[in-house]
Amino acid sequence: MRLGSSAPRVNKRPSIGSIVLALFPFGGMCFSVALWDRVTPRVFGLPFNMFWILAWLALTPALMGIVYRIERKR
* Residues found near other proteins in the complex (CB under 8 A): 1-2, 4-7, 10-14, 18, 22, 25-26, 29-31, 33-34, 37-39, 42, 44-47, 49-50, 53-54, 56-58, 60-61, 64-65, 67-68
In angstroms, give the least distance from the CB of 22 to other proteins. 5
Q: Is 57 buried (19+), middle (13-18) or exposed (0-12) by CB count in 10 A?
A: exposed
Q: Name the amino acid, one letter, at 2.
A: R
In angstroms, give the least distance from the CB of 7 to other proteins. 6
Q: How far is CA 30 from the centre of its chain?
A: 10
In angstroms, give the least distance from the CB of 73 to other proteins. 14
Q: Which helix (DSSP H) or strand (DSSP E) does residue 17 occupy?
A: helix 16-26
